[in-house]
Amino acid sequence: MTGQPHAAVVVGGGLAGAAAALVLAERGVVTRLVRSGPGATALSWGSLDVAGASPDPVGLPWRDPVRSHPLSPGERLAYLLNARRAHPYGALFPERDAGRAVRAVKEATAALDAWLRPAGAGLEGSLDESRLLANVRGAVRVSDFAMVEAAAGDLGRAAGVVLGDVPGLSGFSAPAVARALGAELAALGVPCPPIRVVRLELPEGLQSLAARPARLAAALDDPAATAELARSVRGQAAEGRTLLLPPILGLSRTHSVCRALCEQAGGPVAELLGAPPWSPAGLRLDRALGAALERAGVEVRTARASGLRGELGRIAQVELEGEAALEADAVVLATGRFVGGGLSERDDAVVESLAGLPVFDDRGRRLDGRPGRGQLRRRYADPQPLFGAGVRTDGRLRPLGPDQHPLWSNLVAAGEILGGFDPALQRTGLGVALLSGVRAGEEAAHLAGEALR
């Protein structure tokens, strides 16, 4: 079998699956990615938090509880490694070595930025300093990394803030955002810079699209429309001010749109982070990852995986609904949770959808075979076992069976299918997706090579 190319199948096309597939392709493995449609990645807001702070008690702290100074993202990451043993970072860094984890973050985020830049997207940030980024509701998110269109909107660095108001823009009120920002920054103990609202004068052709923000964003991909918007923001970001705009700055040319606006505004221009139903950043990320997969030669198959077939503890094929099965020397399971379809409820019981793997909560209790509603609590602030459910893995990210040994020697898992954390509360969802996706790609490349020895 020498000389035969290795083959891998990635099931799931969000950030975790795309990262795994891109790493596999870079290692010379023939890679097919199967996705039934966009998952949770396409709903992301514009930040990518590896160790973002959260006001929730189960999240990561914003300040050191003893010395009271703001924690850096790197310090929060070290805290997470030691205090949240069930978190997927525990499987990625079982020795709890914060230095190794920081190096892994730097390498993974640099790789992601390189994958995204050719499509006009990109990632900025570091583990050295937090960014205070506002969303379209005026809430402040303590972030470490963000997509380029949002990263420049750091409220902690702005001498003043100008909020651009688009009259008639559905679901957005710049004056309401300004009021909320003051309260949010006060709660964080951060001085609030002067905030003012300016009305953006748009030509009738663009203003008529304000009732449908996604259409307005798509229209701004046209350089002529970008020039019209740029004229309306001239000089607004001068003298240390930061201009914040709603998330409408194009769908495929966002980086170019931001650059044109900065030139006219005289300083930093950034989008506010999205919030449902405002999620253009997630759509842009999904598109940019798709372009990276195409450049890398990864075959993307739009289909639904229905099962795994193999023998002697190794997967040989991934079965697809209505299509021929795909041969595989290694398989990456990156199917997400309930949004992506990795977990579902059948016959009133929670199940892992593809391979029937055991599902655990963050306390190590089996949840599969039990009704999902029994794992929900009435109060939002209470721990929600269902939202932290997923598979457990060994140090190579191979999912464990009931006997705590891998069921399949050539299956690895990545992303939210990994249990032990609630992405909504702990704000590490895309960080887990990226770091575990890169590691899963490395492990799958190794496992695929083992199949041909």
Mean pLDDT of 183-198: 92
Mean pLDDT of the chain: 90
Backbone angles phi, psi at 390, to 5 degrees: 175, -170
Tell me the pTM.
0.94
Q: Give the confidence band of 280 by pLDDT, cuts at 50, 70, 90.
A: confident
pLDDT at site 372: 75
pLDDT at site 353: 92
Q: Give the confidence band of 169 by pLDDT, cuts at 50, 70, 90.
A: confident
**Domains annotated on the chain, with CATH:** 7-44+284-451 (3.50.50.60), 47-278 (no CATH)
Above 60 in pLDDT, residue 278? yes
Above 60 in pLDDT, residue 453? no
| C-alpha pair distances (Å), 104 with each of 301, 332, 374, 444 | 30, 20, 37, 17
Q: What percent of the chain has pLDDT over 90?
A: 64
Tokens of 148: 């380029």
Alpha carbons 84 and 60: distance in angstroms, whole number:
10
Cβ atoms within 10 A of the Cβ of 188, count?
19
Q: What percent of the chain has pLDDT over 70?
A: 96
pLDDT at site 1: 40
Mean pLDDT of 169-174: 88
pLDDT at site 2: 46
Above 60 in pLDDT, residue 238? yes
Q: Are 394 and 406 in contact (CB under 8 A)?
A: yes
Above 60 in pLDDT, residue 3? no
Cβ atoms within 10 A of the Cβ of 43, count?
18
Torsion angle of the four alpha carbons 223, 224, 228, 229, in this order, in degrees rounded to the nearest 10:
-20
| C-alpha pair distances (Å), 332 with each of 183, 215, 364 | 44, 36, 23
| Tens of pLDDT, residues 419-440 | 988 887 788 999 999 999 999 9
Mean pLDDT of 79-97: 89
Alpha carbons 105 and 123: distance in angstroms, whole number:
13
Mean pLDDT of 263-269: 95
Mean pLDDT of 301-330: 94
Alpha carbons 409 and 406: distance in angstroms, whole number:
6
Alpha carbons 281 and 121: distance in angstroms, whole number:
10
